[in-house]
Structure 1
């Protein structure tokens, strides 16, 4: 029994030491990869395959990589987790997971995993099978994702998510039908309007890669719940609206109810099927 009691703490300390050594080695490997990527550079004109650390990139057209910035004009495909300072694509791109400070796409881009980005600008079609996590998200065209979490979200075109959209400010200018499978939560503001333009086309290198048109289509946003300190919606179908100041614009349908703290306005063309309840406390 004495031997067992003496051996137990030694084994525990040994495991802690091994974990610390493992963490140190992992940090060293990450630093080595980062330094290697910063020193790596290449240029491609035509087509080629290149390796950047654990990443594998195929380019057809023109491409360059320098100091963590990957630029592609034409088409590109990446395997593995892309870890970059910046990605700029003009054309078509296929990727898995991506983490970058800046992402700019013009054309069509599809990622089979998650996207972590500080500043995202997309012109065209953007599909992220996983989640988009960022600071600023700006899209002109189509965007599809499992969920979006950001500080600022501005979309002109159409939006489709399976789950929630959470941000400080949410601005949507609809040209195509949109759907959010969960809640739209804009902590300070939610502003949803139907764009006056009836179509939007994105051309890259003289080729039209995406066109959005609402001719013959009922363009509305469908969502379960919409929350924000200030809320303005139009052409929207949802279950609930929660806010301090709520304006229900034209052609809306609220199925369960509206909860507001200070002001409520409802356009005559809109339908509120549930209750209109004034809350005693505003949103935090």
Structure 2
């Protein structure tokens, strides 16, 4: 997308606007966008309500966002909370916080759990890591955003090549190399090569496929 030939979408403070095709979409404050949005760079600092789908090269969200449609980007970085009513697709998906969505599909998925339960029906990826917080800096930032400490992730199916899970509740986990860390409750694990199971987690059944 040629940034010299398309407009930018900027909301500072409180405001609303229509979607469309732009180079930069930036919300600093509390913004509402009506309709689908397509952009190269999507940035939110504060709160955003998107009445449509969002498609971007890169998406960075610091705060809270609700997307009534899909979220599709090459790279997604979230610090805070996201509610996506549709599916989420990315090459890289990195979250410090909480999210709710129908389906998540990404090559590289890295989730640090904060702020209550995260809920997603299906997760698919090549490399999947879900864990509790590490370090003080991230915790301080989330506290500043009024997001409480980490909780669990709840999913129906998690499928990938290399999987590491902490504090996750799932019906089925399926992968090549699967590591179940602390705080997990899994009904069925299907693995091809290796399964590691933490003593503080519960797996009802496991099978090598």
With normalisation by structure 1, the TM-score equals: 0.67
**Match for residue 195 of structure 1 among 133, 138, 147:** 133
Matched position secondary structure for 2:68: strand
Partner of 1:64 in structure 2? Answer: none
Task: Give the C-alpha shift of residue 130 in structure 1.
Answer: 1.0
Q: How is 1:1-284 mapped onto 2 (pairs within 5 angstroms)?
A: 38=5, 67-79=6-18, 81-96=19-34, 97-146=36-85, 147-161=87-101, 163-186=102-125, 188-196=126-134, 200-201=142-143, 210-214=145-149, 219-255=151-187, 257-274=188-205, 276-279=206-209
Work out the CA distance in 2 between the residues paired with 1:70 and 1:113: 15
Secondary structure at the aligned position of 1:269 is classed as: coil
Q: 2 CA distance for matches of 1:86 and 1:201?
A: 29
Q: Deviations over 1:30-57 (max 9, x none)?
A: xxxx9xx94xxxxxxxxxxxxxxxxxxx
C-alpha distance in 1, partners of 2:109/2:99? 12
Distance 2:114 2:73 in 1: 24
For structure 1, the residue ranges without an aligned partner over 5 or more in a row are 1-33, 39-66, 203-209, 280-284
Aligned length: 201
Measure how far apart 1:129 and its partner are.
1.2
Residue 101 of structure 1: how far off its partner (Å)? 1.0
CA contact (8 A) 1:231 1:246 kept: yes
Higher strand share: 2
Secondary structure of 1:189's counterpart equals strand
The Cα of 1:194 is off from its aligned counterpart by: 1.0
Q: C-alpha root-mean-square deviation of aligned residues, in Å?
A: 1.8
Contact 1:174–1:219 (8 Å) recurs in 2: yes
Higher relative contact order (CA 8 A, sep 6+): 2
Greater percentage in helix: 1
- What TM-score do the two structures reach when normalised by structure 2? 0.90
